Amino acid sequence: MNQPADLTSDTFFNGSISVKQPPDGYRFSIDAVILGNLAAVQADDRVLDLGCGCGVIPLILGYRNPGIGEVFGVEIQAELAGIARLNASENHMENQIHILHKDMKAVVPEDTGGTMDAVVCNPPHFARHSGRINPDSQRAMARHEIAVALADVTAAAARMLAPAGLFTVIYPCERLVDLVSAMRAAGIEPKRLRMIHPRPGIEAKRVLAVGIKGKYPGLKIDPPLFIRNDADHYSPELQTMFGP
């Protein structure tokens, strides 16, 4: 694989995991860290990350869940897929983490040797024609629905999940109605929501949603997650997400 020469390196879990990513263009955010730590996965699960970018979520899943099964990542951008493979290899997870350079709209269970127990996704948050499109193509595709729309994400999740499989997604609160509608249209029933606030006293900006493929209705709201206690300090829960 041709490795870009100017990748930066960030560490997690007191240096146990190292993540390379481009200095410009796509870079993972706190959303990916939250999703990787709170995704609904269990021991022996086969897990798929739709739109895995540089592979940070598969790395977190593998580290946080030692008994987890195979973890697959699907990434449409060739450079990011290559970096995700590099990250898996350099963290000695290449036998567990498998990266597919493919459009999630075309991925099928045959690509991964069968269906998944769990699917996770941190999809583009903004509709294609909403707001300013970033001139950097990697950032634009990560933020706006240029290559994939929300309905494509939920359809891919439903297609790849086994019956009663779990789908975990992080999304803007302002588009929660769109998310619930898209999940239900794909046959994934929303079962849990957790609102994510920048800090106490400020309205939630993100929501972590968990749905089950083919199950009956019944939604529960979990206690909120606060990213920071104040302007300068991560909350204790967030601190544990970066700790060993």
> Range of 102's domain?
30-237
Q: Collapsing DSSP states into helix, strand and coil, what is residue 105?
A: helix
pLDDT score for 126: 61
In-domain check, residue 2: no
In-domain check, residue 180: yes
In-domain check, residue 244: no
In-domain check, residue 96: yes
In-domain check, residue 141: yes
* Residues ≥6 apart with Cβ < 8 Å to 26: 53, 54, 77, 80, 138, 139, 141, 142
- 161-180: pLDDT as tens digits: 999 999 999 999 999 999 99
In-domain check, residue 220: yes
- 136-152: pLDDT as tens digits: 455 445 454 556 899 99
Q: Total structural domains in the chain?
A: 1
Instruction: Identify the burial level of 14 via C-beta atoms within 10 angstroms of its C-beta, where 0-12 means exposed, 13-18 middle and 19 or more buried.
Output: exposed
**How confident is the chain (244 residues) per 10-residue block, as mean pLDDT?**
69 89 80 96 97 96 94 95 96 97 97 98 73 51 64 98 98 96 98 97 97 94 95 90 84
CATH of the domain at 187: 3.40.50.150
In-domain check, residue 121: yes
CA distance 159 to 155: 6
Q: Collapsing DSSP states into helix, strand and coil, what is residue 175?
A: helix
In-domain check, residue 202: yes
